[in-house]
Amino acid sequence: MNKEIRALEPKAVWRNFADLNAVPRPSKKEEKVIEFMLSFGKKLGLETFTDAVGNVIIRKPATPGMENRKPVVMQSHLDMVHQKNNDTHFDFETQGIEMFVQDGWVRAKGTTLGADNGLGVAAIMAVLESDDLPHPAIEALFTIDEETGMTGAKGLEGGVLKGEILLNLDTEEDDEIDIGCAGGVDISATRSYREEPTPEKVRAYKITVKGLQGGHSGMDIHRGLANANKVMNRLLMDGFEDFGLRISSIEGGGLRNAIPRESQAIVVVDEIHDNAFAFEFNQLAATIKKEYRKAEPKMVITAEVTPVPHKVMELGVQEGITRSLYAAHNGVFCMSPDMEGLVQTSNNIARVQVGDGKIEVLCLTRSSVESSKTDLANGIRAAFELSGCEVELSGSYPGWTPNPGSPALELLRNKYEELFGDAPEVVACHAGLECGILGQNYPEMDMISYGPTIKGAHSPDERANITSVEKFWKFTREILANIPEKD
C-alpha cells in the first residue's frame, strides 16, 4: 500500500509516514498506534516506555562528539482528526489512510490525511533510526489525544523529561517559526425536549448544506469560510412564523476543531405555504451562495421532498434553540492588538445535533488571552442558557506565551537564513499547540515549533507539500547538528 508515497524524498520521512498511516489512530482510540510506536522503539534497542496516560517516550543517546550538547525533546502527537466526505466509505478505527500524489502534494482519498501531526512523528522516527545524523541526546515525546482534549500533554508529569530544548514539529507553514499559540475551552450545550406528533396537512423536506471547504477551526478561522451549522440555522430561522415550519431533526458538523462542512435537517411545512416556502428558500439559498461565492464556490444548498416524519420538536424549544444558535458567536471575535494579523479570540460552532428529544451543540472557543477566552465563552454560554440549555465549560487549556528572547529561536532563525537565504516569519498561531500545557510542568524548557507546509488540515482536503517536507527534513537535520553546548 502507498508504494508511490514510499518512493518520495526524503525516503526516511515518507517511509515512516506510510508505516504510521497504515495504523488506525483516531483521537481517544490510540491503542494500536501506541503499540506500534512502542514496538518501533524497542526494535531499535532504545529505551522505550509509556507514562501514566499513554504518551510514548523513546530516548536515544547523543552521537559521538555531541555528548556535551543540550539534550533535546522532539515532540509530536500520535492522534489524527478523523473527517471524511459523506460519500466516502471509511472506518478510521480499522483502516489505514489511502494516499496518493497529485501536483506536488500528498493527499488522501476522501479523508483527512493525518499529516497533522503524522509528518512530525515520521521525522522524529527518522531521527531515532538514523545512523548518520549528528545529534545531542534525544527524548522523543509522542503525545496522545492532542486533537480532542490535549489529555496527553495535560497528563505528562514533571520530572519525566530531561531535555533543555523542546522542538514541537506541529506547525503547518514551512517559512514560519512559531513561538506562541492560543488556549482553548470546550463548550457543550444540551437539553431535552418533548417530541410532538407531526401536524396534518404538511409537506416534508430534507434540507442539505454541503460542499463547504471546512478546515482547521483555529488556523483557518480568519478565512471567512462558511460554517454549515450557521448556514443551516439561517435557513430555518423564522420558518414557523412564515410557513408553519417544524423541525424533526438536524445533523450538522462533527469534531470541535474542524469547521463544519455539511449539515442536514428534516423539516415539515404547512401545505398551504408550500409554494411560498419553496420560493423563499430558493431566494435565501441564492443569497447565501452569492455572499460566499469566493470563499465557498462549491457550496450546495438543497431542499428535497422526503417522507413525512412521525415526530417534530416542541415548538417553544424549536424557537428558542434557533435563536440561541443565531445569537451564539461563530468565527473571529477579535484580533490581537499586540501581533499584527493574529486572531486573538474566536469560536467554532462545531456540531449541532437535534432529534429523539435531545439537543446537543458543541463549540470550541480559542484565545491567546485567558480573560478574552472566558469573556467569549460566557457570552456563548448565556446565549444557550436563555433557551433552557444546560451548558458545560470543560477541557480548558492555556495558551503559550511568546518569548521573543528564546535562545532556541535565535538558533532556528540563524540556521533558516543560512540554509534558505531568507528570514523566516516568527509568529504566534491561533491553533492549540501543546507547548503551553507542557510548559506548566517544564517552565524552564526552551520551546519552539516549526514544520512542513500542510494545507486543509482537519478536512478531507488536507494535503502535504512534497518539496516542503524535503525542506523541513533538511532544516531539522541542521538544527540537531548545531544544538549548543550545555551551560
Cα gap 304→204, rounded to integer Å: 8
Task: Give the chain's radius of gyration (CA, Å).
Answer: 24
* Predicted pLDDT at 340: 85
Q: Which residues contact 465 (CB under 8 A, 6 or more apart)?
A: 104, 105, 174, 452, 453, 454, 455
**How remote is the C-alpha of 308 from its chain's centroid?**
37
Q: For residue 216, which of 170, 178, 155, 179 has the smallest C-alpha distance? A: 170
Helix (H, G, I), strand (E, B) or coil at 5: helix
Helix (H, G, I), strand (E, B) or coil at 21: helix
Question: Do 145 and 397 touch, CB atoms closer than 8 A?
Answer: no
Active site residues: 79, 146
Determine the straight-line distance between the first and last CA of the chain, rounded to whole angstroms: 47
Q: Which residues contact 411 (CB under 8 A, 6 or more apart)?
A: 479, 482, 483, 484
Beta bridge partners of 168: 75, 449
Task: Domain ranges for the chain, please list them.
Answer: 3-181+400-481, 185-397
* Predicted pLDDT at 455: 95
Q: What class, spelled out in words, does domain 3-181+400-481 have in CATH?
A: alpha beta
**How remote is the C-alpha of 205 from its chain's centroid?**
32
Question: Do 39 and 134 touch, CB atoms closer than 8 A?
Answer: no
Give 242-284 pLDDT, tens digit per residue.
999 999 999 999 989 999 999 999 999 999 999 999 999 999 9
Q: Which three cell numbers stand for residue 300?
A: 450546495
CB atoms closer than 10 angstroms to residue 435: 25
CB atoms closer than 10 angstroms to residue 321: 26
Strand residues in 78-169 grouped as ranges (E): 99-102, 105-108, 138-143, 165-168
Report CA-CA distances (Å) from 255 to 12, 27, 109, 148, 278.
Answer: 32, 10, 19, 8, 32
For the four alpha carbons of 74, 79, 83 and 89, in that order, the dihedral sign comes to: positive
Q: What is the largest CA-CA distance in the chain?
A: 85
Q: Which residues contact 54 (CB under 8 A, 6 or more apart)?
A: 30, 34, 144, 152, 155
Range 391-395 contact pairs with CB under 8 angstroms and sequence separation of 24 or more: 391/187, 391/188, 391/189, 392/187, 392/188, 392/190, 393/185, 393/186, 393/187, 394/185, 394/186, 394/188, 395/149, 395/150, 395/184, 395/185, 395/186
Question: Do 163 and 448 touch, CB atoms closer than 8 A?
Answer: no
Query: Cell 486573538 identifies what position?
Result: 344
The CATH architecture one would assign to domain 185-397 is 2-Layer Sandwich (3.30)
Question: Do 27 and 80 touch, CB atoms closer than 8 A?
Answer: yes
Average pLDDT of adjacent 10-residue blocks, the chain of 487 residues: 88 98 95 98 98 97 97 98 89 95 96 97 98 97 93 96 97 95 96 97 97 93 97 96 97 94 97 96 98 98 98 97 98 92 96 98 95 97 98 93 93 97 94 92 96 94 97 98 95
Fill in the DSSP letter of residue 383: H
Give 9-37 pLDDT, tens digit per residue.
999 999 999 999 999 999 999 999 999 99
* Predicted pLDDT at 3: 86
Q: Do domains 3-181+400-481 and 185-397 have the same CATH topology?
A: no
Query: Cell 476543531 identifies what position?
Result: 257
* Predicted pLDDT at 31: 97
